[in-house]
Chains A and B, each alone.
Chain A
Amino acid sequence: MFNKSRNATALEKSGPVEEFEGRSLWHDARIRLFRNKAAVGSMIILAIIALMAIFAPMLSPFEYDEIDWGYIQEGPNWENGHIFGTDGNGRDLFIRILYGARVSLAVGLLATAVSLVIGVTYGAIAGYFGGRIDNIMMRFVDVMYSLPFMFFVIMLMVVFGRNIFLIFVALGAVEWLTMARIVRGQTLSIRRREFIEAAHATGVSSFKIIFRHVIPNVLGPVIVYMTLTIPQVILTESFLSFLGLGVQEPLTSWGVLISEGAKVIEASTWMLVYPAIFLALTLFCFNFIGDGLRDALDPKDR
């Protein structure tokens, strides 16, 4: 039977006094993620694409806006250095794809980050306080949802002119809505848990409860959704560029390149195929990572 003095002596005898390191749920998830071959392969490919985008100027003798008058709309050719060929203005396609990767990836990451910060905070507050606050906040989200996205983007363009930052804002402003809904739903189920009540009983303030107890526990589904949002945002940006609402020449993005290639698909297939391969590869990778993360963070769902 439990006994104080015997317990104390047992403690003294219990060997090493150094503290054991615990293994957190995050640590477990990381191990499971790195066992997933598809996810690890995707991370490697993505890292290569990202590095190529960052060090683009070193990888090609050409400039992205440099016109090579001798080779206008020529196919891939290793001898003259245009390994992916040139576009209708005689610009090297390889370097333009890498510069397009910069824009596409930046839009994907930044817009997702914006949606993450707004969505998580908004959803957690709505879900935690509940009642009337929740109702008002979520009805606002519903109203925003019902706004046609294209209309919203065109309105922003009309008011502020064409600007790459506008794309970040427009995409972030739309993507956070779903994030807020997901986080709110998760928060609703978590705020009834006893550890939240324990924190409340101790006198921890509501905002500390939200940031210390609620958000770390909703982060699992959020991270998964985030990896699925990035490709979605890249696609949406491509779509906007395809319609001519995206980045401006001579700067480019994958969407712009695909749009240009699609126009000349019969004459110069390479102008469509190469950017499309990069876009598809990136989207695949993000989806595989998202999949791997879902399995890693919630092993029960497999």
Chain B
Amino acid sequence: MNAIPETPLLSVRDLRVHFSLPGKGLFGKPRTLKAVDGVDFDLFPGETLGIVGESGCGKSTLGRAILQLIPPTAGQVVWLGKDIVGTRDRDLQPLRRDLQIIFQDPLASLNPRMTIGEIIAEPLVTHKADLGKAEIRNRVKTMMARVGLLPQMINRYPHEFSGGQCQRIGIARAMILEPKLIVCDEPVSALDVSIQAQIVNLLQDLQRDFGLSMLFISHDLSVVRHICQRILVLYLGNVMELADRDTIYAAPKHPYTKALISAVPIPDPELERSKERIVLKGDLPSPINPPSGCVFRTRCPFAKEKCATDIPMIETLGPSHQVACHFHGRM
């Protein structure tokens, strides 16, 4: 990915998603869970941006907030130059055809009472009902063949397919309107490794052919490295680091990113044994009561006093490298 400044397809500005929870006990104060707490990034046409982080760091919430499936509490989601936060459902309708999502659990994302033909056709029926039944069926079959399903299977039901095939059905449904952006919410983490490779390659194929942009949410850094041009590291709803793939793997600046990357196994036993492994202690702090200052300080091996008092600002290091750490240069 070169750094030619284009107009971004999607700009996320200071996006926050807070959930209010009832207080403890009968008269407890209502609490807020800050799932996503101020995320900024741009996504350019044809680009794949990886969003990584451990479980519960707000990756999926971020993806759903961008699609307005969960209403954001504050911030902007600028889609093709227009802020879509707070738009009514009816006005979002025309935008939905360009924004699609692929889910983690392939079988759960398909209605068990519908044939896969009906499932894949649903976006067409919703947005282009004037095509007529025969044409819709035709397009569904073409798309099925495109994602590697036998078109004769059109009348079968989801439970008659394997996990990998179900994920292909999910991809076909997302692709049938030829959207501009697909949010992939851990699309391969429920699949077997060999099937993962097939699905990832299929996604890359489709991306090249249709000029798609993708937000690839995952906790699997090897997959992310394979498919993404840029990577955003999320921790407790906050951006830790955002950089090009090669930069982030070669020279991670944030201690959290370093720890994540050191956890990726290397397929060479000698190298694997000799590599330096940064092991984080403890668990992810509760997003209901996040640490003061830098949210990562409770588990950071390099934390100093300043980290507890000052919230680190996002600093720009290079043309496309941003990091949020007070001491990124001095570790």
Contacts and interface: CB of A to CB of B under 8 A. Distances in A.
A292 B173 CA distance: 36
Interface residues of A, number: 35
Nearest to B145: A11
Interface stretch (B10-18, B155-163, B242-250, B300-308): B155-163
A8 interface: yes
Contact of A193 (B97, B108, B114, B153): B108
A19 B152 contact: yes
Interface string B90-113: 001100110111011100111111
B157 A199 contact: no
A194 B205 CA distance: 25
Interface of A is mostly: helix
Given A197-B69, A199-B122, A203-B93, A23 B160 contact: yes
A198 B101 contact: yes
B201 A20 contact: no
Given A199-B122, A203-B127, A20 B145 contact: no
A143 interface: no
B157 A25 contact: yes
A25 B113 contact: yes
Contacts of B100: 201-202
Task: Please classify how large the interface on chain B is, using the bins under 10, 10 to 19, 20 to 34, 35 or more.
Answer: 35 or more
Interface in A1-41: 1-2, 4, 7-8, 11, 14, 16-26
A203 B156 contact: no
A2 B111 contact: no
A83 B59 CA distance: 77
A206 B93 CA distance: 12
A202 B122 contact: yes
B111 A202 contact: no
Given A11-B145, A194-B103, A201 B67 contact: yes
Given A197-B103, A217-B111, A203 B126 contact: yes
A195 interface: yes
Contacts of B313: none
B112 A25 contact: yes
B150 A11 contact: yes
B148 interface: yes
Contacts of A193: 108
A194 B148 contact: no
B152 A203 contact: no
A2 B202 contact: yes
Contacts of B157: 22-25
B115 interface: yes
B80 interface: no
Contact of B103 (A21, A24, A198): A198
B109 A198 contact: yes
A22 B160 contact: yes
21 contacts: A2-B148, A2-B201, A8-B145, A11-B145, A11-B151, A16-B152, A19-B154, A20-B152, A20-B156, A22-B115, A24-B157, A25-B113, A193-B108, A194-B105, A197-B109, A198-B103, A199-B122, A202-B173, A203-B93, A203-B96, A212-B114
Contacts of A194: 103-105, 108-109
Interface in B130-173: 145, 148, 150-157, 159-160, 170, 173
Contacts of B105: 194
Contacts of A14: 150
A265 interface: no
B7 interface: no
Interface string A184-208: 0000000001110111111110101
Interface string A208-240: 100011001100000000000000000000000
A251 B251 CA distance: 91
Given A201-B96, A203-B92, A217-B113, A22 B145 contact: no
B139 to A, nearest CB: 15
Contacts of B127: 202-203
A1 B198 contact: yes
Nearest to B185: A194
B113 to A, nearest CB: 4
A23 to B, nearest CB: 7
B227 to A, nearest CB: 14
Contacts of A204: 122, 126
Contacts of A17: 152
Given A11-B151, A202-B122, A203-B97, 4 more contacts: A7-B148, A21-B155, A194-B105, A201-B67
A208 B146 CA distance: 28
A158 to B, nearest CB: 44
A200 to B, nearest CB: 6
A20 B153 contact: yes
